[in-house]
Amino acid sequence: MDKTVPAGAAILLDFIGGIEAPQGYGTLYGNNQRVLPKPLVQMTVNEVIAAGPSWTKRFKSSAAGRYQFMNATLKGLRQQLRLGVGQVFDANLQDRLGYHLLKRRGYEQFMAGKIGLVEFGKRLAQEWASLPVLADTQGQERKVTRGQSYYAGDGLNKSLVEPAKVEAILAKAKAAGNGPVSAPPQDDIPHAPSRPDILVVDTHQDDASGGKWPSIIATVLIILIALAIAGAFFWR
């Protein structure tokens, strides 16, 4: 996940991406990415947009990437965000674009408590056809009931997840807030292997008698010097 995406949005995008494109960022609608001359994540946004109409003819949809961006959606994002000609449609860009779509659909208002779970769920279902509406409502084609896709009846789309799961993820995302994605727990961070076979003597540590090595050495030297001086006077 791109580091600029806040924790709550990252949770939502991971959930949505897992439903829309389980095979990841290189997915073309219907898992037809195998026919591409090069991986989707190596194509530029302009190349993806240019190829969209041909994909629609061949596969019935231009949806591409982990969040299954439609051709018209990508065109709008390119213009709104002023994406460069050479902007690559890689994983990080897809995450940022996905986050922008969340914000379009009311993510910030939902996190601030300005719209409720049912309304935000409906807006997400309008963006991603695999998500269900969370209450009976008017869909694009007809009236739809809780658990159905907003686009039910179009002969192409249907919900792929239970509404209770969506509600649980929305609650989890809201609880996570808009801070950065948390670092892994300390125990999950790999450490350098210990070397029990190497003995390291720390001369700054107290010995068993409570003294310190530098003090002992200095004392011994003083005694030896004193004895040497005494001996010199004795033999005169």
- pLDDT tens, position by position, 129-165: 999 999 999 999 999 999 999 999 998 889 999 999 9
Q: In this predicted model, which residue has the larger pLDDT, 186 or 170?
A: 170
User: Which strand (E) or helix (H) includes residue 32?
Assistant: none
Report the C-alpha gap between 64 and 78 in whole angstroms.
15
Q: Got the DSSP string for 89-120? A: --HHHHHHHHHHHHHHTTHHHHHTTSS-HHHH
In DSSP terms, 28 is beta-bridged to 64
| Whole-number pLDDT of residue 103 | 97
Report the C-alpha gap between 177 and 70 in whole angstroms.
28
Mean pLDDT (whole number) for 16-34: 96
234 pLDDT more than 50: no
Q: Which amino acid is at 57?
A: K
Nearest to 94 by CA among 177, 118, 102, 33: 102
59 pLDDT more than 80: yes
Strands 143-144 and 137-138, sheet pairing: antiparallel
Report the C-alpha gap between 34 and 54 in whole angstroms.
15
| Whole-number pLDDT of residue 107 | 98
Tokens of 74: 């990508």
Q: In this predicted model, which residue has the larger pLDDT, 51 or 196?
A: 51
206 pLDDT more than 70: no
In the chain, domain spans: 7-115+166-182, 203-236
Nearest to 26 by CA among 42, 11, 5: 42
Tokens of 129: 């056809």
197 pLDDT more than 60: no
| Whole-number pLDDT of residue 188 | 41
Question: Could you identify the residue written with the tokens 């439609």?
Answer: 70
Confidence label for 207 from pLDDT (cuts 50, 70 and 90): very low
Report the C-alpha gap between 99 and 91 in whole angstroms.
12
**Residue 106: burial class (beta carbons within 10 Å; 0-12, 13-18, 19+):** middle
| Whole-number pLDDT of residue 89 | 98
